Structure 1
Amino acid sequence: MSRLWIVPLLALSVAAAWLFGPTEAVPGQLPGVAAWRADARHLPDPATATPAQVAAFFATLPAGPAAALAGEYPSVVGNLDGAPLALRYAANRDPAFAGRQILALDRRGDGRIVEVLGDLATADRVAVLIPGVDNTLADFDTGLGGIERRAPAWQARQLFQQTGEKVAVVAWLGYDPPEGVRRAALREDRAASGALALERFVAGLVADRPDRQITVVGHSYGSIVAGRAAAHLPAQVTDIVALGSPGLGVTARAELGGSARIWAGSAPDDWTRRLPSVRVFGLGHGRLPVDPAFGALPLPAADVSGHDGYFLSGTSTLRAIARIAADRTTSPEQPAASSF
C-alpha cells in the first residue's frame, strides 16, 4: 500500500473510534472512605496523604489497633499505598484468591487487582508488570478470551520462575485499561490516570525501603502508563521495559524525563510494528520505541511470536527482563542484545 494512503486511513480510523468508542465508567469512591475520613482518630486521607505519610501513621500504631483498623475498613486499608503489607494482605483476603498475596483489590467496574509473588517485605529488587488493553479483574487469571499467556497473573508467575527468590514480582492491574483498540486506546487519558496510580504505588514500595531497585515492565498500552509516569518515578526505578508498545507518547527517549534506562522490544510480527508513528490532537502515541531513532536500548525479541508471546518460557525476551530485574550488570554502553 502506498504511504500516501496511511494518513487518510488513520484519520478515518481515528474519527470512527472517536465517534463510536466507549467512554470510561468512573466508579465512586471505595466503600468505607467516607466513614474513614469522618473517623475521630484523624486517619490519613486516601486521596491526599502520600504513601510516606501513610507509612509514618501506621508506624505509630501498635499491632492490635492497626489490625483492628484494617478489620473495620478493609477496602480502604487493603488499597492504601504505604500501609503495612501484612495488613493489606489480610484486608484483601478473598475466597477467589485463597492463599495468595493480594496487595490491592477493588471489584467496582472492571476491577483492580495487584498481586505479589515472592517476599516483598525483604526483597531489595522488585519487578512491576503493567498489562494493556482489555485486561480486567475477571480475566486476571484466565487471560482475555481464555488464552492463558495473556493473563497478567500467569505472566507474573513466568517472570518469577525465571528470577527466583531474588526478585519480588508484582502483577499490577492498578488502573482501568481501555476496552479494545478504540477511542480510549488511541488517547492517553487512561494512561494518565494509570500513571498517577503507578506513581503512588511505587512511592509506597520505597517508603520504608529506599535501597530498593525497581524495574517497571509495560506491555502494549501498559507501556504508555509507564512512559507517562517516567518523569515522576523515584530514582529507585532503574529500568523501564516497553514490550509490544504502540508508542510512549513522545518522539524520543529524552522527552520522557526521569533517570531510568528505557528498553524496548517487539516481536517481528507484532501488529504494533505496523502502527504509524504519529501523535495528532492527542490521538496516537508517537514514535515506536523500537525505532532506533527513539533512543531506547534494544531488548531481544526475535524469537517471540505475536503480540502476547513475550512471557512464554524460553524466550530471549523473558530471559532479558529477568536479568534486568535481577541485576544491573548490563550497562547502556554495551550492545544490549548481545549481552543477554
Structure 2
Amino acid sequence: MNRLWIVALLLLAAPAVWLFGPTEAVADQLPGAAAWTADPRHLPDPATTTPAQVAAYFAGLPAGAGAALAREYPTVVGNLDGVPAALRYAANGDPSYAGRQILTLDRRGDGRIVEVLGDLDAAERVVILIPGVDTTLADFDTGLGHVRRRAPAWQARQLFSQVRPGVAVIAWLGYDPPEGVRRAALREDRAASGALALERFVDGLVAQRPDRSITVVGHSYGSIVAGRAAAHLPAQVSDIVAIGSPGMGVSNRAALGGTARVWAGSAPDDWTRKLPSIRVLGLGHGRLPIDPAFGALPLPAGNVSGHDGYFMPGSVALTAIARIATGAALPQDQPALNAS
C-alpha cells in the first residue's frame, strides 16, 4: 500500500473514531486537591478514598478540626462527598448564594453546583434532580435562555413545595452536561462521567445516614446519567424516574441493573417522543423508556406541555414525583394519564 492510500485511510478513520469511538468516563478532580493531598497531615485523598471513609475520617476529628479544614481548604471540603453537610455549606458560603444550602460549588468551566432544600441531616427521604443538556452554573437559577421553568433551582423548589416534612430535595448539577444537541448529546461520555459523580454523591448521602430512602429523577440527558449509574447505586435508592428521556442507554429495564423501581413519563408533545429507539456504535440512547417494551412503570404526564413543563404547578408529573418521593402510591389510572 503506497503512502497516499495510507494518508487517505487515516483521513477517513479520524472522523469515525471521533464520532463512534468508545465511551469514556472521566472522573473530576476537585479544585484545590493538589494542595490538599500534599498536606503532611495525610488528609483523605479525594481520588482514592470512598465517601464512607471520608465520613469516618471527619467523624473521628477532634472538635473544631473539621471547621478548621473547611476554612483552610474550602474548595475541597465544600465538594468532597462524605463530608458532613454543615461543613460543606460553610465551605461553600459564597455571597452569591447567601442563605442557601450549597453542597457543591465549582466555578471552573461550565461550573458545578448542588443545592439542598430542607434539612438533609434529618431527612428520611431525599430526592435528587438531575438536569439535562445546556445546564450550567450560569443558568442554574435563571434557566437556559432565562426561561424559568428550565432552571434546576426553580424546579427543585416546585417539588419541595409538594413534599411532606422529612423530605429533602436536591438540585444536582454535579456533572458537565453536553452543550446543545450535537455530538456530545448523541453519545454518552458526559453521562458516563456524570454517573461516576452521581454514584459517589449518593454513597456520601448513605454514609451520613444509611436508613434513608433516595429517589433519583433524571430529566432529558439527566435520565441517561441515572441510567448509567443504576447498576451501581445502593439499595437505598428505591426509585429512578426518567422524564422527557431520549433513552437510558439500554433496550429495557433489566439491562439497567440495580434494584430500584424505574418510572418513565413524557409529555404528549415532548420532542423526545420522535427520537428513534436506536443505539449504534455509541450513538443514540436505545429504546425510549416510555415504550411499554422497555418495562418501566408509567409516570403520569398527560397534562404536561413541552419538554420543560414537568415541574410546572398543576403538572400531574410533579404530583406523581412528589408521591413517589414520599413513598405514597400512585393512582391506578396512571397509564391513561401517560398516553400520547
Settle same-fold status: TM greater than 0.5. Answer: yes
- How many Å apart are 1:222 and its aligned residue? 0.1
- How many Å apart are 1:223 and its aligned residue? 0.1
Aligned to 1:284: 284
- How many Å apart are 1:330 and its aligned residue? 5.1
Are the equivalent residues in 2 in contact too, given 1:27–1:108 (CA < 8 A)? no
Aligned to 1:114: 114
- How many Å apart are 1:63 and its aligned residue? 2.7
- In the alignment, structure 1 residue 251 sits paired with structure 2 residue 251: yes
1:74 alignment partner AA: P
- In the alignment, structure 1 residue 218 sits paired with structure 2 residue 218: yes
Aligned to 1:320: 320
Aligned to 1:301: 301
Q: In structure 2, the residue corresponding to 1:177 is in which secondary structure?
A: coil
Moved over 6 A (4+): none
How many corresponding residue pairs? 318
TM-score, normalising length from structure 2?
Answer: 0.90
For residues 48-63 of structure 1, what are the structure 2 equivalents within 5 Å? Answer: 48-63=48-63
Q: How far apart, CA to CA, are the structure 1 residues paired with 2:277 and 2:337?
A: 28
2:306 alignment partner AA: G
1:42 alignment partner AA: H
For residues 1-340 of structure 1, what are the structure 2 equivalents within 5 Å? Answer: 29-329=29-329, 336-337=334-335
Q: In structure 2, the residue corresponding to 1:313 is in which secondary structure?
A: coil
2:309 alignment partner AA: G
- How many Å apart are 1:71 and its aligned residue? 0.4
- How many Å apart are 1:29 and its aligned residue? 3.9
Q: How far apart, CA to CA, are the structure 1 residues paired with 2:182 and 2:41?
A: 46
Q: How far apart, CA to CA, are the structure 1 residues paired with 2:282 and 2:130?
A: 22
Q: In structure 2, the residue corresponding to 1:224 is in which secondary structure?
A: helix
RMSD: 2.0
2:75 alignment partner AA: S
Are the equivalent residues in 2 in contact too, given 1:130–1:223 (CA < 8 A)? yes
Q: In structure 2, the residue corresponding to 1:179 is in which secondary structure?
A: coil
Percent same amino acid among aligned pairs?
A: 78
TM-score, normalising length from structure 1?
Answer: 0.90
Question: Residues 179-231 of structure 1: CA distance to partner in whole angstroms, max 9, x if unpaired?
Answer: 00000000000000000000000000010311100000000000000000000
2:263 alignment partner AA: W
Are the equivalent residues in 2 in contact too, given 1:297–1:336 (CA < 8 A)? no
In structure 2, runs of 5+ residues without a counterpart are: 1-14
Q: How far apart, CA to CA, are the structure 1 residues paired with 2:125 and 2:27?
A: 33
Aligned to 2:4: none
